[in-house]
Amino acid sequence: MISTDKFRKKLKVEIDGEPWMMIDVEHVRPGKGQGFTRTKMKNMVTGQVVERTYKSNETLNPARIDAATMQYLYQNGDDYSFMNTETYDQVNLTAEQLGDVVNYLYENMECEVAFFNGMPISCDMANFVELEIVECEPGIKGNTATNTLKPAIVSSGYRAMVPLFVEQGDWIRIDTRTGDYVERCKRPEGR
């Protein structure tokens, strides 16, 4: 059982036999009366988002979610295909189930696919990913010291804001939690 003081973002709980993930949590301690926790949760199967409030003495069951390391293969319309590298089983996830993960996927990338009762429900990836700049305005000589940013499109199709000195063909590291540029990097081995 998980008590309300342990509630946090990305916590996965089971309510009425379905997995829910907390996407926003606010612990409230009013001047008078008992404290409570206000949450915004997303159903990991249907994508439905609801807001719920819990008293400080309430508890929830953790969701029984299994995870498997899988390799991203390809996109077919709104479906994204993944393959288990040990059993060669393939599963599909929709763009809605993946959320922001679709912005950073590239072929043969390894991800953690979550399963609830044998059904794939979501995908998690590393906090940082290296992608190539495929389109951006050329850098301007002398504009390396400012904090000015320009739009650039990376190999996954995501539009990132990068410093002026970054050019087409450069490889950059992106924080997948925020979508922000982190640094310029070398081309990863095998890509």
How far apart, in whole angstroms, are the C-alpha atoms of residue 155 and residue 117? 34
Mean pLDDT of the region 84-100:
90
* Lookup: tokens for 182: 């982190």
For residues 52 and 88, state if they share a domain. Answer: no
User: Of 62, 83, 111, which residue sits at a domain end?
Assistant: 62
Mean pLDDT of the region 74-97:
91
Q: How confident is the model at residue 78 (pLDDT cuts 50, 70, 90)?
A: confident
Structural domain containing residue 143: 128-185
The DSSP secondary-structure symbol of 109 reads -
For residues 80 and 30, state if they share a domain. Answer: no
- pLDDT tens, 134-190? 999 876 666 556 678 899 999 999 999 998 888 899 999 999 988 999 999 988 887
For residue 30, the model assigns a pLDDT of 86
Does 191 map to a domain?
no
Does 30 map to a domain?
yes
* Lookup: tokens for 27: 């612990």
CATH of residue 49 = 2.30.30.30
Q: Is the pLDDT of residue 28 over 80?
A: yes
Does 190 map to a domain?
no
DSSP 124-187: E--SEEEEEEEEEPPP-TT-SSS--EEEEEETTS-EEEEETT--TT-EEEEETTTTEEEEEEPP
How many domains would you assign to the chain?
3
Mean pLDDT of the region 15-39:
90
Mean pLDDT of the region 9-25:
90
For residues 116 and 89, state if they share a domain. Answer: yes
